[in-house]
Structure 1
Amino acid sequence: MKSISQLLFFLLLSLPLVAQDQVFVETESFQNKGGWVIDQQSFVVIGSSYMMAHGMGRPVKDATTTVSFPKKGKYQLWIRTKDWAPFPKGPGKFQVIVDNQPVKMVFGESGSDEWKWYNGGEVDIKSDQVNLALHDLTGFNGRCDAILFTNAPKFTPPNKLDELNAFRNKLLNLTGTTANAGQFDLVVVGGGIAGTCAALSAARMGLKVALIQDRPLLGGNNSSEVRVHLRGETDQNHYPKLGRIVREMDNGDPGNGNPNGNEYGDARKIAIVKAERNIKLFLNTHVYKAEKDKDKVTAVVGRDIATNKETRFEGTYFADCTGDGTLGDLIGADYRFGRESKAETGESLAAEKSDNFTLGTSNLWASLERDTVSSFPDVPWALPFSDEYHIDEARSDWQWETGFGNYNTITDAEKIRDHNLRAIYGNWSYLKKNKSEKYAKRELAWVAYIGGKRESRRLLGDHILTQMDIQEGKQYPDGTVTATWTIDLHFPDPKNSKYFEGQEFFAGTKHIKVAPYTIPYRCLYSKNISNLFMAGRNISTTHVAFGSTRVMRTCGMMGEVVGFAAYMAKKYNTTPRGVYQEHLPEFMAIIKDEPTASSKP
């Protein structure tokens, strides 16, 4: 019965809109964003980016745009939104303004935390060009995905994801309009430290490279949007050539959550990439579709997170540097998620039973001392703090972390971020009201709305790095990246668990020191997708070994190795596996920077 109803929906959708006019507006395409920000982190869940009023408790400036209408008259207004913290009604209230007239309904306080369409009532369109505005009322992360005007009688827009995507694509005219970016030797998906280093490495070896990043900045967790400092060493390498590109990306050590975003070197990272003639950089492009021929990736399709325009990228080789293993998942690469058991891996630090526990996601924050006393709004929807338990800090560090198996770090990314915000705002409200001698003149200066993820999918390669590989310092013939970080596995802080059991947002760890060890090249390509490399936190490791490999300088060196391997693969028209099986001595000579390996195709 369900399939029949879906078929009828799609058939109706494909018919011309006779005597009906529908105007569909994606809010992220607003011409003037005002103080609103684009959030694309949950694209895989809701099929779109959306706009959010991230004002840290201060209402943000209106987002505005102009919309063309096919004809004047009465239209039903629909708004796609949610109440992100419905306890019982949340903080994200906003208004929609049509030609300077606010509609009667206030959105974002429905009491439901599900994304859905809300009926905003009838509006009278009196002009061919109409001004729209999103007017924030609280500064506490109100959000709006899309706006629909329709004169179709008794029409309700769809909420089910497959139906919504078809509806969205139809009205945005996305079907069959994909632009072609061209053919590349290497398509790198993900512009964090690992992906950026992979693109630079390959380009400098003479390959034609596309670097695709779903945000406006490069650097991932090391960008000013997330503000995590780089860790791992580049100067303890067995092969000193590795780490040179990482050092170009390195902007010193501004620490975690520095309120001065300039300390993270956003502009410099982009300038380094744009200086490479062999790289085409595509920012704000979320890859959501992949094409395959047998066991090979042939192309990927990305959607601009602001304009929704789509671009197709063809490639000989691809590198998944997304952290989440997004491309690997789209194309059917084998992967693991969560912890393996001791029986499965033989690791002493492994869990007794396998499960979906992963390290969590952080949203860092910072306050600054001001000249005058300031207040902070009441936050009854936030997590509650007390004299008995609060966190007496003026700036966060890595410990502010949510996940730990209570949430899926991919499908629950929005919930995780929102839980972190409820913790941050709740604790800050307590400090402002109860510790005025220390915090009266302090003001929240910055709160990350982009989550800094640690763990999700780990794509499987021909070798899976283990705790024993690390602690025994095993030397494999294809050992490349030298890693130095401890086995650093996070868990909920016991005191935090006592007061917020099942809702932990604060982490602890026990650092297990390791001697410098090498990561085999076989961890950097897929075991079942023949032209797919990977670099970053999604490489082929166990959960335990991942605790050491995941830091960004180490991940950046993985990217450098992938660039060299892609060069070798192209030179001999072989696969990533073929580089290992047939050309390892020459490949390792490049890693070692031996003069005999300096020629290029």
Structure 2
Amino acid sequence: MKRAMVFKRCKFWMITNLVLLLLFGPALQAQNHYLLEAESFTTSGGWKVDQQYFDIMGSSYLLAHGMGEAVEDAITTIDLPAKGKYHVWVRTKDWAPFPVGPGKFKLNIGADYSKEFGSSGEKGWKWYYGDQVDIKDPAKLKVVLNDLTGFDGRCDAIYLTTNKKDVPPNELVEMHEWRKKLLNLTDTPKTAGTYDLVVVGGGISGICAAVSAARQGVTVALIQNRPVLGGNNSSEIRVHLMGELSQGNDYPVLGRIVRELDNGDPHNANKDGKLYGDKRKLSVVEMEPNIDLFLNMHAYDVEMDGDKIKAVIARHISTNQELRFEGELFADCTGDGTIGYVAGAEYRIGRESKAQTNESLAPDKADGFVMGTSNLWHSSLEDEKSVFPETPWALQFSEAYYLDSPTSEWYWETGFSNFDPILEAEEIRDHNFRAVYGNWAFLKNQKSEKYSNYKLDWLGYIGGKRESRRLLGDYILSEMDCDGTIPTQADAFVTATWTIDLHFPEPENHKYFEGQEFLTATQHTRVKPYQIPYRCLYSKNISNLFMAGRDLSATHVAFGSTRVMRTNGMMGELVGIAAAMAIKNNTNPRGIYEKHIEDLRIYLLGK
């Protein structure tokens, strides 16, 4: 189903969006070929639009996430340029080729074409050839994606061509340019507007940054690549908020917006997604006249002017319409540091060594280890029995080792040093799927006396990521800041209370699934409340870039304490206030520290 962006206060943009869709549509007609992006199907049925890997793939795709029950068909119609015999190509992936995965689906075109895809036994995204279809009536041609299993079949695009030698490219750089050409995407997309502050990322930190700045009179664009706000604390991921707002907080102005967003504590993986307060968060944003909210827009590129970001480029995750957002200041609240990365901001990923940071909790040697990603799940006890198929492609469990629980918790986590948190994010999510499905199949089929009436009713397909890039600021928070060894900095304002909470593979899980761990243990090091310096919240080398949330300037060890969402939200609030002060004084983030830090401190005291 096509999802429109939220354009507040400006009917002109709504009209412009509609005109662009009518003119260009999701696919470009040509003399002898046609590219249909799967995410742009008119009716997505039970298929989900998945944009999580856009930065690697250059596109969103459709996912048949039915937890073992086939989902409703995705349906659209297309107008081919002429009748004739078209060669059919489908870009898909066998996500669990062990040896053959379960993501099988049919592509139906018109009345005469029906072929199966998605279960090839080959790794990776590829274009698969699907023979020819003889199109006698090219107008209003019905195209259907028919899921056969409910086990996460996926389709990125469908390509029809009358030229057999016209083979679509698989190499990502070449395919990116090919896709842009066929979709008529230009290098200078239409400008959505010019703003004082452009916030990318609609999690807790991004919402707080946008609302905080807007309430100071700043014009804000808030760009979120999902249909809902909240990030990890949304109905899509279902992680509860943690961290204290009042304990040790010397600056009472911070934390007020987090409280407005807080919908209570439904704990993790609650069956009722409404308890995570998507509507509450949306209403807080929509009440601000200075915020233009753009949902379903994935920001993936920047325009630079020296060491400044001039604009960010974002693409709608379903329609593929691109927009350009100009700004004076920018805030990267993406978690992955996506905007900072493409702008050339200095960053770190993984663990620093003891010699590099002098931290007692750091390893002897630096490495790429990061805390992992969770895809939480839930099952319910029902009146009737239900069945679940065997899953030979999933992780295999036995009497010697299985997880005897009807629901998940935070410790269902994959990543660590086994996967790259950026380049292999999809593989991380899919490994979580293989663990969940494999264990659930064991419980349903081998422990039926207990689980016969339980049904798997929710499994998050959007990953709840803990750690990836950390952008570097003028100050790098360390263990010694957290434990009080280093005296409190003059610009230390955001209160943090969480322990230094560092995850690692759970030993027994490691024993049975070495190299394929999916459970975590933790090492808690308690700290007294301390404050995070403002200098951790702006880039050291991109002069107009703030950051708030998981991509703050910190070591891996210190990050273990700062990563919880109430703390992230207070970071966002501080960024919004500093951005407003920077606009008022015609300066940049560093200028606030160098010339206006006392004004900022006084404001945060509420005086």
Instruction: Tell me if structure 2 keeps the 8 A contact 1:20–1:152.
Output: no
1:521 corresponds to which residue?
Answer: 534
Aligned match for 1:25, one of 21, 36, 47: 36
- Tell me how far 1:241 sits from its aligned partner: 1.4
Aligned match for 1:51, one of 62, 65, 82: 62
Of 173-182 and 142-151, deviating more is 173-182
2:110 corresponds to which residue?
Answer: 99
State how far apart, in whole Å, the 2-side matches of 1:100 and 1:464 are: 62
* Residue 242 in structure 1 maps to residue 254 in structure 2: yes
> Residues 49 and 507 of structure 1: is their aligned pair in 2 closer, same or farther, counting only changes over 3 Å?
same
What is the TM-score with the length of structure 2 in the denominator?
0.94
1:534 corresponds to which residue?
Answer: 547
* Residue 216 in structure 1 maps to residue 227 in structure 2: yes
What is the TM-score with the length of structure 1 in the denominator?
0.95
Q: Look up the equivalent residue of 1:398 and give its one-letter code.
A: W
State how far apart, in whole Å, the 1-side matches of 2:149 and 2:172 are: 29
- Tell me how far 1:102 sits from its aligned partner: 4.4
Deviations along 1:85-125, one digit per CA (max 9) or x if unpaired, are 0011110000001124442x310111112111111110011
2:85 corresponds to which residue?
Answer: 74
- Tell me how far 1:512 sits from its aligned partner: 1.0
Instruction: Tell me if structure 2 keeps the 8 A contact 1:20–1:150.
Output: no
Aligned match for 1:114, one of 114, 124, 129: 124
2:587 corresponds to which residue?
Answer: 574
1:168 corresponds to which residue?
Answer: 179
Secondary structure of 1:359's match? strand
Equivalent residues in 2 for 1:164-313, closer than 5 Å:
164-176=175-187, 178-236=189-247, 237-313=249-325
State how far apart, in whole Å, the 2-side matches of 1:242 and 1:175 are: 42
Q: Look up the equivalent residue of 2:133 and give its one-letter code.
A: V
State how far apart, in whole Å, the 2-side matches of 1:61 and 1:570 are: 50
- Tell me how far 1:19 sits from its aligned partner: 9.5
Of 357-366 and 127-136, deviating more is 127-136
* Residue 565 in structure 1 maps to residue 578 in structure 2: yes
2:170 corresponds to which residue?
Answer: 159
1:479 corresponds to which residue?
Answer: 492
Deviations along 1:366-394, one digit per CA (max 9) or x if unpaired, are 00011111110110000000001001111
Instruction: Tell me if structure 1 keeps the 8 A contact 2:245–2:567.
Output: yes
Q: Look up the equivalent residue of 1:505 and give its one-letter code.
A: F
Secondary structure of 1:375's match? coil
State how far apart, in whole Å, the 2-side matches of 1:438 and 1:574 are: 64
Equivalent residues in 2 for 1:129-148, closer than 5 Å:
129-148=140-159
- Tell me how far 1:195 sits from its aligned partner: 0.3
State how far apart, in whole Å, the 1-side matches of 2:538 and 2:276 are: 30
2:136 corresponds to which residue?
Answer: 126
Identity within the alignment, %? 61
Secondary structure of 2:433's match? helix
- Tell me how far 1:549 sits from its aligned partner: 0.2
State how far apart, in whole Å, the 2-side matches of 1:62 and 1:39 are: 16
State how far apart, in whole Å, the 1-side matches of 2:458 and 2:345 are: 38
- Tell me how far 1:153 sits from its aligned partner: 3.3
1:510 corresponds to which residue?
Answer: 523
Secondary structure of 2:301's match? strand
Instruction: Tell me if structure 1 keeps the 8 A contact 2:29–2:81.
Output: no
The count of residues paired between Structure 1 and Structure 2 equals 577
State how far apart, in whole Å, the 1-side matches of 2:29 and 2:80 are: 16
State how far apart, in whole Å, the 1-side matches of 2:73 and 2:188 are: 31
Deviations along 1:536-564, one digit per CA (max 9) or x if unpaired, are 01000000000000000000000000001
Deviations along 1:128-187, one digit per CA (max 9) or x if unpaired, are 110101000000000000001101232211101111111111111112562211110000
Instruction: Tell me if structure 2 keeps the 8 A contact 1:200–1:276.
Output: yes
Deviations along 1:20-41, one digit per CA (max 9) or x if unpaired, are 5111100000010000001111
1:421 corresponds to which residue?
Answer: 433
Q: Look up the equivalent residue of 1:550 and give its one-letter code.
A: R
Aligned match for 1:63, one of 49, 74, 90: 74
Instruction: Tell me if structure 2 keeps the 8 A contact 1:20–1:151.
Output: no
State how far apart, in whole Å, the 1-side matches of 2:604 and 2:44 are: 46
1:587 corresponds to which residue?
Answer: 600
State how far apart, in whole Å, the 1-side matches of 2:448 and 2:258 are: 43
Instruction: Tell me if structure 2 keeps the 8 A contact 1:369–1:443.
Output: yes
Q: Look up the equivalent residue of 2:407 and give its one-letter code.
A: R
Deviations along 1:39-79, one digit per CA (max 9) or x if unpaired, are 11111111110001000000000000011111111111100
State how far apart, in whole Å, the 2-side matches of 1:271 and 1:469 are: 36
Q: Look up the equivalent residue of 2:600 and give its one-letter code.
A: F
State how far apart, in whole Å, the 2-side matches of 1:561 and 1:18 are: 48
State how far apart, in whole Å, the 2-side matches of 1:336 and 1:176 are: 30
Secondary structure of 2:282's match? helix
Q: Look up the equivalent residue of 2:484 and give its one-letter code.
A: E
State how far apart, in whole Å, the 1-side matches of 2:445 and 2:374 are: 25
Aligned match for 1:41, one of 52, 59, 63: 52
State how far apart, in whole Å, the 1-side matches of 2:471 and 2:212 are: 22
Instruction: Tell me if structure 2 keeps the 8 A contact 1:74–1:124.
Output: yes
State how far apart, in whole Å, the 1-side matches of 2:448 and 2:575 are: 52
State how far apart, in whole Å, the 2-side matches of 1:19 and 1:307 are: 18
State how far apart, in whole Å, the 1-side matches of 2:186 and 2:144 are: 28
Q: Look up the equivalent residue of 1:547 and give its one-letter code.
A: G
- Tell me how far 1:590 sits from its aligned partner: 1.2
Q: Look up the equivalent residue of 2:217 and give its one-letter code.
A: G
Q: Look up the equivalent residue of 1:239 and give its one-letter code.
A: Y
2:12 corresponds to which residue?
Answer: none
Aligned match for 1:367, one of 379, 389, 393: 379
State how far apart, in whole Å, the 2-side matches of 1:528 and 1:18 are: 44
State how far apart, in whole Å, the 2-side matches of 1:591 and 1:178 are: 39
State how far apart, in whole Å, the 2-side matches of 1:586 and 1:56 are: 54
Deviations along 1:433-481, one digit per CA (max 9) or x if unpaired, are 1222221100001000000000000000000000011101631110110
Instruction: Tell me if structure 1 keeps the 8 A contact 2:112–2:133.
Output: no
State how far apart, in whole Å, the 2-side matches of 1:405 and 1:217 are: 30
1:455 corresponds to which residue?
Answer: 467
* Residue 401 in structure 1 maps to residue 417 in structure 2: no
Secondary structure of 1:183's match? strand
- Tell me how far 1:409 sits from its aligned partner: 0.9
Instruction: Tell me if structure 1 keeps the 8 A contact 2:30–2:81.
Output: no
State how far apart, in whole Å, the 1-side matches of 2:188 and 2:418 are: 40
State how far apart, in whole Å, the 1-side matches of 2:387 and 2:445 are: 8
Instruction: Tell me if structure 1 keeps the 8 A contact 2:113–2:133.
Output: no
Q: Look up the equivalent residue of 2:294 and give its one-letter code.
A: F
Q: Look up the equivalent residue of 1:126 and give its one-letter code.
A: K
State how far apart, in whole Å, the 1-side matches of 2:263 and 2:352 are: 36
